[in-house]
Amino acid sequence: MLKVQEFLKQYDGEPMRIMEVCGTHTAAISHSGIPSVISPKIRLISGPGCPVCVTVTSYIDRLVSLSMEPGCAVVSFGDLLRVKGSARSLNDARALGGQVRMVYSPMDVLKLAAAEPEKTFVFAAVGFETTAPVYALLLGEAVRAGLENIRLLTSLKTMPPVIDWVCAHQGGIDGFLAPGHVSVITGSDLFEPLARKYSIPFAVSGFEPEQILISLYALVRLRGRGVVKNLYPSVVTARGNVQAQRLVSRYFEPCGAAWRGMGVIPNSGIRLRPEFARFDAGSAELTQDRGFHSACRCGQVLTGAISPHECPLFGRACAPQTPQGACMVSTEGSCYQYYVNRRD
């Protein structure tokens, strides 16, 4: 380990930019202070891996409007409640009388729906490959229990197409810390085509500081080589969790998805299959992405084009108590993490 730390600290080769594509990695890197113990020639940048951050404003607007409809309640994780749409957040809607319930698990909506059968409960289904199996389980239970008053407003996304988009449109990235949680479901092989296409190494990494440092070491050593290293073998396999993949495929199918600051990326999301369309709350139309604050630069932060410090609002008008964009709301957001950990 000492050898790894020394190597990363004393690295004096070509400057490198390494992107972590997972909000949990962004948080772990920021908490642990890793950027301050490695060479300034290795620049760590955050990518589009925070599910709340990449959600477009029209999705929030739709949730806000659903919460105000008679006989309808929106159910969501806490982070999403504070994200502004083009005018309001779900918290604002609740203050105006909107029906908004916060839960800790999507499965909680089953109890709500059974207790109030006259009401329609719309779950704000955001997330990546990691959370999709839970939504599939939820639908399975709803079907089994005959609960027809549950809907999903989906903003479910998949990682490889957005990494492809970042490489093709942004470029300048020499290595990826591949998302650990996503890889548990998808398997590490998923990143092979991208590694080969762009001759960029990927390291599937755990979340402990030592695991991240070892992954960074591997990426520096593998620079310019299109290979995938699974450095999280205790939980990640080459093919992933096939049972979970089958479960997701039973209820969902691939579709284009809108990403904050990036527009619609083909095949970068999943939607309900036609046979389960009765559980959908109108997810297909949600592609508009007008920012609540016109100076917010979340889109550029999410693609690694700028660091949060380069946004003119960072630490001024925009801080965790007064967030102007989604990246300052979520605890996995780059702006939030850079702010609370004073990351450079």
Rounded Cα gap, residues 118 and 33, in angstroms: 51
Rounded Cα gap, residues 222 and 198, in angstroms: 13
- C-beta separation of 270 from 255 below 8 A: yes
Least distance in Å: CB of 285 to ligand SF4?
A: 25
Q: Please give the size of the binding site for ligand SF4, defined by CB under 6 A.
A: 15
Q: Which range touches ligand SF4 (CB under 6 A), out of 101-109, 148-156, 170-178, 295-303?
A: 295-303
Largest CA distance in the chain: 66
Rounded Cα gap, residues 258 and 242, in angstroms: 27
Asked if 313 touches ligand SF4 (CB under 6 A), the answer is: yes
Least distance in Å: CB of 305 to ligand SF4?
A: 11
CA distances from 311 to 82, 123, 328 (A): 20, 32, 11
Interface residue with ligand SF4 among 123, 308, 330, 332 (CB under 6 A) is 308
Q: Which range touches ligand SF4 (CB under 6 A), out of 59-67, 101-109, 268-276, 291-299?
A: 291-299
Interface residue with ligand SF4 among 19, 156, 265, 298 (CB under 6 A) is 298
Asked if 175 touches ligand SF4 (CB under 6 A), the answer is: no
Asked if 335 touches ligand SF4 (CB under 6 A), the answer is: yes
Sign of CA dihedral 173, 176, 177, 182: positive
Element holding 248 (H helix, E strand): helix 242-251
Least distance in Å: CB of 127 to ligand SF4?
A: 20
Asked if 142 touches ligand SF4 (CB under 6 A), the answer is: no
Q: Which among 32, 34, 53, 33 has a CA at the least distance from the CA of 332?
A: 53
Asked if 314 touches ligand SF4 (CB under 6 A), the answer is: yes
- Which residues contact ligand SF4 by CB under 6 A? 293, 296-298, 301, 308, 311, 313-314, 318, 324-325, 327-328, 335
